[in-house]
Amino acid sequence: MSKTNDHIAEEKSHTFLTRNIYLLSVVSLLTDIASEMLYPIMPLYLKQIGYGVIAIGFIEGAADVVAGISKGWFGYLSDKLNKRIFFVRLGYTLSTFSKPLMAITGSLGIIVTSRLLDRLGKGIRTAPRDAILAIESTKENRGKVFGFHRSLDTLGATLGPVVALIFLYYYPAQYTRLFLIVLIPGLLAVLLTFLVKDRHSIGDIKAIHTKRPSYSFKAFLKKASPEYKALLMGLVLFSLINSSDMFLLLRAKELGLQDTFIIGAYILYNAIFTVAAFPLGYLSDRIGSKIIYIFGLILFAVVYGVFAREMTTLVVFGMFGVYGIFGAIHESISKSWLSKHLPAESQGTGLGLYLTCQSVAFLVSSSVTGIVWNQWGPTVVFSGISMLTALLLVYFVFMPSLQHKEFISAD
């Protein structure tokens, strides 16, 4: 075993929290402070300047597709080149400097360009970063590691809207200044990425190909385990049902909540997410990812079913709290669960494939959601999503290859 691998093994034997895991989690915290200072005001802002639910759904879907396709490509490329931190740094840098573009003008073209560049940065960094997290962890603590990372990530998503609320309280409608302020946490995040080091597991140590790599998910899927493919299908089917959280914010607006209450509900969602992510990831390591994930889908179906009805402000806040538990489950456990069915040298490719498929499905679901909302109203949208999720639960319960145990690939 190499000196590098000895060092990784020594760290893992003492604590799940290695230097790289801690640094990447703090980087995500700072980046989400920047991103979430803007995210909850975006649907309200777009609607204010004249763009409806179809446009909002398409913008968010298109931005996520850019992120998803790039996640797959750069995840694969990081595996082939055996270098991951370069793509992590590049992605965070691009996202940091793209956000202030919105301060130039309120034109749709600039808004779309800014969102696409921001999501491209996310696409470049996500799969290589998740591959580092997977390699730094073990099969026994992977849910805990991804849960810890998502917890700090979402702590940033909680603090971001709080900062925005405080700023807008003292400087109402000063959006240009807010777009520039996000540079501060973003730049700190970029600087911290230079402290993260590429470290490889035994399966990663191989000769770097000097020829240009061929990009083939088809070839990867031929070698992937049946467990990975069955789980991938279930997660992508859910992505076809799910849609942008912006529709939940718009529904809250339609129900009569003031903007400050809407942002407050979103802060509550992120706060619950932050608190729940780590213990739920830990629990998934103990009783199995499948049980926890099914519980999350049940919560999702309940929230969307309730949002289909008229409700009070208190109920809206309660549902955003429940939705935070679902978010903690979906965002942390889905990737840690998938990674357990991937060898170390294919972590970037396997996770990138999922993220690409997820994003393409997200474009379809968000666009369809906007169209259905426009034609038949939010009641049809939310009740339909709730019922489709209930049907998908049957697939996860009876997936034959994953029904009784998790199959862990050698890592």
HEC string for 165-234: HHHHHHCCCCHHHHHHHCHHHHHHHHHHHCCCCCCCCHHHCCCCCCCCCCCCHHHHHHHCCHHHHHHHHH
What is the spatial distance between Cα 232 and Cα 234, in angstroms, rounded to a whole number? Answer: 5
Contact 260, 311 (CB under 8 A): no
The answer to whether the beta carbons of residues 161 and 37 sit under 8 Å apart is yes
Q: Using alpha carbons, select from 212, 272, 225, 238 the residue that is nearest to residue 402.
A: 225
The C-alpha atoms of residue 107 and residue 128 are separated, in whole angstroms, by: 33
Sequence-separated (6 or more) residues with CB below 8 Å from residue 114? 98, 99, 101, 102
With residue 222 as reference, give the H or E element that holds it: helix 217-223
- Residue-wise pLDDT tens for the chain (411 aa)? 444 444 544 444 456 788 889 999 999 999 989 888 877 667 666 666 666 667 766 776 677 777 777 877 887 788 788 888 899 999 999 999 888 876 666 677 777 788 888 888 988 998 889 888 888 888 778 878 888 888 888 788 788 888 888 887 788 767 678 778 889 999 999 999 999 887 654 344 343 333 434 456 777 888 888 888 899 999 999 999 998 787 898 898 888 887 778 888 888 998 898 888 888 888 888 888 889 999 999 999 999 999 999 888 899 999 999 999 999 899 878 888 888 888 877 777 888 788 788 878 877 888 888 889 988 999 999 999 999 999 999 999 887 555 434 433 333
Res 61: pLDDT: 67
- Reduced to 3 states (helix: H, G, I; strand: E, B; else coil), residue 232 is helix
> In b/e form, how buried is each residue of 216-244, taking b as 16+ CB within 10 angstroms?
ebeebeeebbebbebbbebbbbbbbbbbb
> Dihedral angle at the C-alpha atoms of 298, 139, 219, 74, nearest 10 degrees?
80
Closest CA to 196 of 257, 107, 129: 129
CA end-to-end distance (rounded Å), the chain = 14
Is 156:130 a contact under the CB 8 Å cutoff? no
